[in-house]
Amino acid sequence: MIFDGQDHIHQSINAINRRLNELIGTSQQLATQIGQLAQQGAGVQQAGQVPAQPPATGTGTPAIQRHEVDHLIRNGNDLVQQLNQLKNSVEGIAREKRDAPPAPPSYEDQAGTQLIKNNVDEMKTILKQMQADAYVNSQKGGGASSCPEVSCLSTTYFGVFIVGQVVLLLLYSVYQSRKEAAAKKFY
């Protein structure tokens, strides 16, 4: 579950990084085009001449002034610089996440593992005792072990018991997943 969250964060950072690269490329293209337009406009006017009236663009509005073009270029360069800084910080975060050691197992994981080991050891002990008892009984009975004539547990009861256990296990699993989902909402 933790690894799924980390994977989702990693994918989000990569998506942001791709989008930043697109934005930086677009802003650099715009800055280049604005610079070219400014140079073409400056090339048309002769040095030292100030036009009496702004040239008309055919729509009744005056053309862009040189100081406006310079202002647009400065803003474009500032935007490119800020996007580069943002990209570097996102890459730094991604690098730290990639280089960070995996989180140690939590106390619950360690306790669960220890509980499973204890249960397995207990089952091994019980099986060894049953084997020893079966061997002793076979030695006493002359080699042939006798099975009880009456079954303590019928097949139907056994099947119902197993199905009940599976249903309880599934219900508990659903309960735990909902509980974890509700806990995630607070983080």
Q: How far apart are CA 148 and CA 132, in angstroms?
A: 19
- What was the pLDDT predicted at 150? 65
Burial class (CB in 10 A: 0-12, 13-18, 19+), 155: exposed
Render pLDDT for 137-174 as a digit per residue (tens, 0 to 9). 777 765 555 565 666 778 888 999 999 999 999 999 99
Q: How far apart are CA 31 and CA 132, in angstroms?
A: 87
Q: How far apart are CA 156 and CA 163, in angstroms?
A: 11
- Please, which pLDDT band fits residue 6 given cuts at 50, 70 and 90? confident
- What was the pLDDT predicted at 185? 77
Region 111-139 average pLDDT:
85
- Label residue 105 left, alpha or beta by phi (over 0 means left) and psi (-120 to 50 means alpha): beta
- What was the pLDDT predicted at 108? 67
Region 80-109 average pLDDT:
77
62 φ/ψ angles, rounded to the nearest 5 degrees: -70, 155
- What was the pLDDT predicted at 107? 64
- What was the pLDDT predicted at 164? 95
- What was the pLDDT predicted at 52? 45
Render pLDDT for 16-73 as a digit per residue (tens, 0 to 9). 888 878 888 887 887 787 777 767 765 555 444 544 445 545 555 566 677 777 777 8
Task: Determine which of 76-80, 97-101, 124-128, 168-172 has the lowest per-residue pLDDT on average.
Answer: 97-101
